[in-house]
Structure formats: C-alpha cells, structure tokens
Amino acid sequence: MRMDDRIGERAGNSTTLRARRPRRRSRISDERRRDLIDAAIRSISEVGYNEVTVQSICEAAGFSRGLIGHYFTGKDELLLEAVRQVARELGDAMRAAIRAAGPDPYDRLHAVVRASFTPPGFTPEKASVWVALTGTARWSPSLAEIYRSLWRSYRQGIARQMTRVAEQRGVSIDADRAALMFTQMVEGFWVGWTADPVAIEPDAAEVACHAFLDLLLRRPTATDVSA
C-alpha cells in the first residue's frame, strides 16, 4: 500500500481532495477512532506493517470493514495515526519516568534507560510498531517526521542531563555526540530485539545502556587518550 503523505496531517485539519464531511467530534466518535487506532497497533504488531489490511484492523477492533471510512479518510491516515499514537506514548513514558526520577540528572538518565526497556514505555507491541516505522520512514515523509521528532526531543533531554552530570563530576564530554551515541544504541537495541529477540533481550539491553552511561560519565584517568 502506498503511504499517501498528503493525508498525513490530522484529519481535522486536512482538506483532502474529495469532499468529506469532517464528522464533528462526538464522544462516541472519539471512542471509535481510538478503538480503531488501538486495533491498528495490535494488527501491525501481529502481522507486520506490510501485511496489515483494513480487514485485519477492523477484525481486531471487532467492527466491520466499512467502519473505517466513517472515522478516517482511509487506511493510510489510520496507520499514520496509529504510529503517531505509539510515538506519543513512548514520549509520554519517557517524560513520566524522568518526572518520577526526581531532580538528580544521573537518576534521570538511568530512569530513561529503564523506561526505554520496560513497560509501559517499551512493550512488544510498541516496539514492533516502532521498528516497522523505522523500516519505512525513509520512503514516507510523514513517518520520517514522526521518527525525527521523537528522537530529537529524546536526544535533547538526554544531552541536557548528560551535561549536568558531567558538570557535577567534572568530566568533560561532547554531550551532543554522547546523546547521539546513546539514542542510536537504544534504537539499535529496539531494532535488535524485534528482529532477533533471542540474542537481544530487553534486560540485557537495559544493563548495557546503564553501563554505557557509566562508561561515558566516569572520571577518566590522567593518561586517558579518548577524544
């Protein structure tokens, strides 16, 4: 199916080509949209992004095929909303973890690590949707945008905390580069777990990321040569 990026915007805002009544947002309307989005997430996770069909989604939602047309301009929009939803929940989980970790930047970093590999931030469903997204983003501006914004804000937060820890410890680091290394390692673990869950387990991934932070933020020896 072709990701039609013109309808990537929110349904409410978009003016699609063929006139379509905007269906004012009632209580039940929101509920159905949500039902379908959740079903889409489950369905992607189950059969894969390529194999999802309107049929498989509506079956997962317990509704008939035709319903989708009442709440979304089409399959593409629904899928996009589903991915957006996952991205939003990932971001929310991170923020919540940071908030819960208290003010200490070191604690916060490790809280982010934990949140990155344990529910509700990391779940099999979310991870597989996310990885499906990464595998398609290159050819879909809308998905790429979702990808960019999640990591951009994640990365910024990480860099900020790293800077503070480094300052606390008197360590000098290139925070931007370190944050980049960190986010891509996390990304790599997500992808790895999805593609090869035997070799890459969430627990090990979490431990590895904690270790990376410590490696990065430990005080170097006098003779240290690292850049």
Partner DNA sequence: AATGAATGAGTCTTCATTCAT
Partner DNA sequence: AATGAATGAAGACTCATTCAT
Applying CB under 7 A, among 12, 13, 15, 66 the residue interacting with DNA is: 66
Size of the site for DNA (CB under 7 A): 24
Segment interacting with DNA (CB under 7 A) among 58-66, 112-120, 181-189, 201-209 = 58-66
Applying CB under 7 A, among 12, 13, 15, 18 the residue interacting with DNA is: 18
Q: How many Å separate Cα 63 from the centre of its chain?
A: 27
In terms of Cβ atoms closer than 10 Å to its own Cβ (0-12, 13-18, 19+), residue 140 is buried
Applying CB under 7 A, among 42, 44, 76, 98 the residue interacting with DNA is: 76
The verdict on 26 binding a copy of itself (CB under 8 A) reads no
Segment interacting with DNA (CB under 7 A) among 50-58, 114-122, 138-146, 216-224 = 50-58
For DNA, the closer CB: 63 or 106: 63
- CA contacts within 13 A on the Cβ side of 25: 7
DSSP for 132-200 reads: HHHTTGGG-HHHHHHHHHHHHHHHHHHHHHHHHHHHHHT----HHHHHHHHHHHHHHHHHHHHH-TTT-
The verdict on 48 binding a copy of itself (CB under 8 A) reads yes
Residue pair 48/194 in contact (Cβ under 8 Å)? The answer is no
The verdict on 218 binding DNA (CB under 7 A) reads no
Size of the site for a copy of itself (CB under 8 A): 62
For DNA, the closer CB: 54 or 97: 54
Sites of contact with a copy of itself (CB under 8 A)? 1-3, 47-51, 128, 131-140, 143-144, 147-148, 151-152, 177, 180-181, 183-189, 191-192, 194-196, 199-200, 204-205, 207-208, 210-212, 214-216, 218-227
Sites of contact with DNA (CB under 7 A)? 1, 18, 23-24, 26, 28-29, 32, 51-55, 63-70, 74-76
